[in-house]
């Protein structure tokens, strides 16, 4: 494996290399740390998280400003445009729907109002159908446990139940979280079946009229304020050919206290039923006397919001790629108020700044054997939409994508002795990461909160579901001088006070050393894979995505 550096190459030669065929340069050991600048990382994070970007909502003026800024930075970093028609932009068309104030969702008991959803403190609701008005009338409520159909676990919460015209009420997360049984689903680690995205999708497949998830902070891994802040205002989605007809008429969340009142009114004990729902063989339970009436009026439009992509061409295997991905969007501007802009500094100006910095470092280090593509995706906060679009319309072939690295929300905790791998035990990329960390005296630590399902909550999963080996790594918590308690408390405070809130702002007092450390490590990791044309890391044996990758590789090699 060769390692290259351009310390003696003139700027003119560098630009020429970017504009024409890549030119290998003198081989030497790369000082990876010297090629990653904390100053540049801070500058880009501050710019992306500034009030000028207005929270970077897809389709907004601030979102367009952010996308152009990223493209300009990629160009300045020496990356070639990898988007549509020779640009840095891969255009993604989204539908944008905003529920209007004259909408209503009412849970009735024997025809009398029991719960009037206020889109704030007790319930939030919306629809994925794109009609200007969608209604549900006299829809009986039925509790379906976790709302899961998982044949590999021998689990079917809908077995024998016809939910046509009914509204299903569900628990968040998996049965394994509730029981702590390691043999039930994935134990304390959330599977995709525990994600709200899956539960709403499955309710639609079952033909339900409405789908409601009961919020509970521990299994959801976030408070009610995240729910009310994330699911109100404009809601984006990929443009669906069927106009959303495959989804239920209404999707929503109810606050735990509201859910308890609903179950009490139906003569049911939510705690007892939740326990029963965590055992195999649970049967759905009708909620006597309770029904849903709702009218969802909404303004619906389409907005354009691009993925932004730049790259560097490899010298020996230019048709093979290492992928870096981070989402650039956040929640936008909520309107009047003292602090109403969701700046998204940690989430995810940090990751976006990191992939630009890594792209620049690739360029300065010299083209490796393989190519590299750096994709800042849109609409992650709306349900991983930009990465889902990329997975269906990749800018480079997925079968030629050797490995991918996703960077999402690096916290400014400072340098650590560890690096977290979300979904630890998934792919052989972890072995390569371990080799990078060893000489630094660092270690891999599994995600400290696997119950939160972070492996299914960021953009790498869109590519993983297609078979591409992906790594989602994040900064550690074992601070080099202050220890694990400090790092853990730092992360918990961020989640409690700033995650998906206007308080997620850049501060010049941030300790950028840890963000630099993570960026440097992931640069070295990807560059080493890119510069070894024989290395094709795969998912570990037994991983859910291994067969997809094996089939993909077999098609490429003819085996």
Average pLDDT value over all residues in the chain: 92
CA atoms within a 13 Å half-sphere pointing along the CA-CB vector of 170: 33
CA distance 280 to 159: 12
Residue 57 has pLDDT above 90, yes or no: yes
Residue 352: closest CA among 380, 333, 331: 380
In this prediction, residue 4 has a pLDDT band, given cuts at 50, 70 and 90, of: very low
Residue 5: its pLDDT value, please?
35
Residue 300: its pLDDT value, please?
94
Residue 442 has pLDDT above 70, yes or no: yes
Average of per-residue pLDDT across 243-248: 94
In the chain the domains, ranked by start, together with CATH numbers, are 40-92+305-475+514-557 (3.40.630.10), 96-301 (3.50.30.30)
Residue 557: its pLDDT value, please?
64
- pLDDT digit string, tens, across residues 142-152: 999 999 999 98
Q: In the chain, what percentage of residues exceed pLDDT 70? A: 94
Angle between helices 61-76 and 350-365 (to 10 degrees): 20
Average of per-residue pLDDT across 519-544: 95
- pLDDT digit string, tens, across residues 463-488: 999 999 999 999 999 999 999 999 99
- pLDDT digit string, tens, across residues 209-240: 999 999 999 999 899 998 998 888 888 889 98
Residue 290 sits at φ, ψ, to 5 deg, of: -95, 135
Residue 319 has pLDDT above 80, yes or no: yes
- pLDDT digit string, tens, across residues 356-389: 999 999 999 999 999 999 999 999 998 899 999 9
Torsion angle in degrees (nearest 10) through CA of 493, 457, 354, 14:
180
Residue 11 has pLDDT above 50, yes or no: no
CA distance 450 to 375: 26
Residue 3 has pLDDT above 60, yes or no: no
Residues counted in the chain: 559
Lowest mean pLDDT among 79-88, 115-124, 222-231, 330-339: 330-339
Average of per-residue pLDDT across 85-102: 95
Residue 26 has pLDDT above 50, yes or no: no
CA distance 281 to 272: 15
Residue 8: its pLDDT value, please?
28
99 and 296 in contact (C-beta within 8 Å)? yes
Residue 142: its pLDDT value, please?
98
Average of per-residue pLDDT across 315-342: 92
- Which pTM does this prediction carry? 0.81
In this prediction, residue 559 has a pLDDT band, given cuts at 50, 70 and 90, of: low
Say if residue 362 is exposed, middle or buried (CB neighbours under 10 Å; 0-12, 13-18, 19+).
buried
Average of per-residue pLDDT across 51-78: 97
């Amino acid at each position: 494996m060769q390692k290259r550096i351009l310390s003696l190459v003139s700027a003119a030669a560098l630009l020429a290399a970017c504009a024409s065929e890549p030119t290998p340069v003198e081989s030497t050991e790369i000082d990876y740390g010297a090629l990653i600048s904390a100053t540049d990382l801070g500058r880009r994070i501050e710019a992306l998280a500034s009030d000028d970007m207005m929270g970077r909502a897809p389709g907004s003026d601030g979102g367009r400003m952010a996308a152009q800024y990223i493209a300009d930075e990629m160009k300045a970093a020496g990356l070639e445009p990898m988007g549509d028609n020779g640009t840095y932009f891969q255009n993604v068309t989204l539908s944008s729907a905003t529920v209007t104030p004259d909408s209503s969702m009412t849970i009735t008991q024997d025809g009398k109002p029991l719960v009037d959803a206020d889109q704030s403190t007790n319930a939030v609701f919306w629809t994925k159908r794109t009609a200007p008005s969608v209604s549900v009338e006299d829809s009986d409520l039925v509790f379906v446990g976790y709302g899961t159909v998982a044949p590999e676990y021998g689990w079917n919460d809908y077995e024998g139940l016809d939910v046509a015209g009914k509204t299903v009420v569900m628990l968040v997360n998996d049965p394994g979280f509730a029981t702590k049984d390691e043999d039930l689903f994935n134990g304390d680690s959330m599977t995709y079946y525990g994600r709200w995205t899956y539960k709403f999708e499955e309710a639609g497949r079952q033909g339900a009229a409405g789908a409601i998830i009961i919020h509970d902070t521990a299994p959801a891994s976030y408070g009610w304020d995240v729910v009310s802040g994330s699911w109100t205002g404009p809601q984006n989605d990929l443009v669906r050919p069927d106009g959303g007809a495959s989804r239920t008429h209404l999707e929503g969340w109810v606050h735990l206290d509201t859910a308890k009142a609903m179950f009490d009114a139906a003569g049911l004990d939510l705690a007892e039923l939740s326990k029963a729902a965590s055992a195999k063989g649970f049967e759905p339970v009708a909620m006597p006397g309770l029904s849903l009436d709702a009218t969802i009026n909404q303004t619906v439009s389409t907005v354009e919001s691009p993925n932004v992509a730049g790259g560097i061409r490899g010298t020996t295997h230019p048709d093979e790629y290492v992928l870096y991905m981070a989402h650039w969007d956040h929640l936008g501007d909520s309107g009047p108020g003292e602090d109403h802009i969701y700046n998204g500094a940690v989430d995810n100006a940090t990751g976006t700044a990191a992939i630009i910095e890594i792209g620049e470092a690739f360029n300065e280090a010299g083209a490796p054997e393989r190519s590299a593509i750096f994709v800042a995706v849109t609409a992650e906060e709306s349900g991983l939409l930009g990465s889902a679009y990329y997975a269906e319309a990749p800018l480079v072939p997925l079968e030629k994508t050797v490995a991918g690295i996703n960077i999402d929300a690096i916290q400014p905790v400072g340098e650590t002795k560890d690096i977290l791998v979300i979904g630890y035990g998934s792919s052989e990329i972890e072995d390569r990461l371990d080799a990078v960390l060893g000489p630094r005296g660092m270690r891999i630590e599994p995600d400290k909160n696997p119950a939160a399902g972070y492996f299914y909550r960021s953009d790498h999963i869109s590519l993983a579901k297609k078979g591409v080996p992906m790594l989602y790594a994040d900064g550690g918590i074992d601070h080099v001088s202050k220890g694990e308690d400090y790092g853990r408390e730092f992360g918990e405070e961020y989640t409690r006070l700033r995650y998906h809130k206007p308080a997620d702002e850049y501060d010049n007092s941030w300790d950028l050393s840890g963000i630099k450390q993570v960026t440097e490590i992931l640069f070295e990791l990807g560059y080493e894979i890119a510069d070894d044309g024989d290395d094709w890391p795969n998912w570990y044996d037994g991983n859910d995505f291994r067969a997809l990758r094996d089939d993909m590789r077999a098609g490429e090699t003819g085996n």
